[in-house]
A and B are shown apart, each in its own frame.
Chain A
Amino acid sequence: MLRRASLAVLATLVVASGCQALPVARSMFHLADSPIRTGRAPAPGDMCLAGLYPPFRVFGDAWARPTVWGVRTDTGERVGVIWPHGTRAAFLPALVLWDDAGRVIAREGDVIADAGGGGGPPGTIQICSFGRDY
């Protein structure tokens, strides 16, 4: 009887442990790169299309595909976002995004109003750079 109870407790622990292992999104993961810049990040000498995307709010769901998306603040439209090469994300538990230098780009719900570029498929925001005035 005691042995059966021990097995039950052990089985419960294994199941609980398995469930605990499922939310892996606390680990930092890379987001999809621009398909044009496969394998390399925009370097200082690279040229970006100098367009400015409409402001959008960042959302994420570790279980959704895509994991991270935007919602335009002007139209409310949900849009796919292709991030610059090297962009990373994690759910802590809310979404946080970092650039390739480790700087925080945005957190869940933040508005990104300085995304630059202009390429990518229709309806998507393909970011080449984040805005600075020169």
Chain B
Amino acid sequence: MSAGHCSKNAGPDYTLDNGTFIGTHGSDIWGDADVDALSIRISNPSSDNLLYVSEFYSNRAMVTQRHDSAQTQGSVACRSARSGYTCGTIGSVNMNIGTDNGTLHHQWIADFGSSPGNSGGAVFVNATWMGIVSTGNSTDTGYSTVDRVEDAMNVSVCLTGSC
């Protein structure tokens, strides 16, 4: 998964930072939408269930997902993306955010900043995946939650290897 608007200037192929090919474009939703998400058709099985972790320039396995009901105001959220790894707390939930491309609905807002290139980065805590970075400014980061992505894209996240 990544952010939907990342598809705008991307080619059909997706790679890790080290150039390893992982798959091709599946589908995307963004703009005036409920989520900002993109699916990648994984061709490289070694990429399954892995989350990009910027501080180690590597990937980390996710084993669970955090549902919206548990992503409450004041709870911890971490981000790993192009500008690095940081943690903070969730300041607002289920917000409509005006962006440079219309209104993005159902955004969770964490109290750490983001900069260009962070889109598509993961929001998580330890090995629990929470969402995908969509928007940001110097003080806040907006993300689409896993629950919302599943609903909007009609997909089920499989993190256990048994599904």
Contacts and interface: CB of A to CB of B under 8 A. Distances in A.
Given A51-B117, A51-B119, A134 B83 contact: yes
B39 interface: no
Contact of B115 (A34, A47, A116, A122): A116
A3 interface: no
B101 A36 contact: yes
Band of interface residues on A = 20 to 34
B84 interface: yes
Nearest to A115: B116
B114 A50 contact: yes
B9 interface: yes
A67 interface: no
A58 interface: no
A44 interface: yes
Q: For the complex, would chain B's binding face be called helix, strand, loop or mixed by DSSP majority?
A: loop
B100 A119 contact: yes
A126 B139 CA distance: 22
Interface string B114-125: 111111000000
Interface residues of B, number: 36
Nearest to A127: B100
B113 interface: yes
Contacts of A129: 115-116, 137
Given A47-B97, A118-B6, A126-B100, A131 B135 contact: no
A50 B119 CA distance: 5
A42 B116 CA distance: 14
26 contacts: A34-B100, A36-B102, A44-B139, A45-B137, A49-B36, A50-B3, A50-B117, A50-B134, A50-B141, A51-B8, A51-B9, A53-B116, A116-B115, A116-B117, A117-B100, A118-B3, A118-B100, A118-B101, A119-B102, A120-B101, A129-B116, A129-B137, A131-B115, A132-B138, A134-B83, A134-B115
Interface of A: 34, 36-37, 42, 44-54, 114-120, 122, 125-126, 128-134
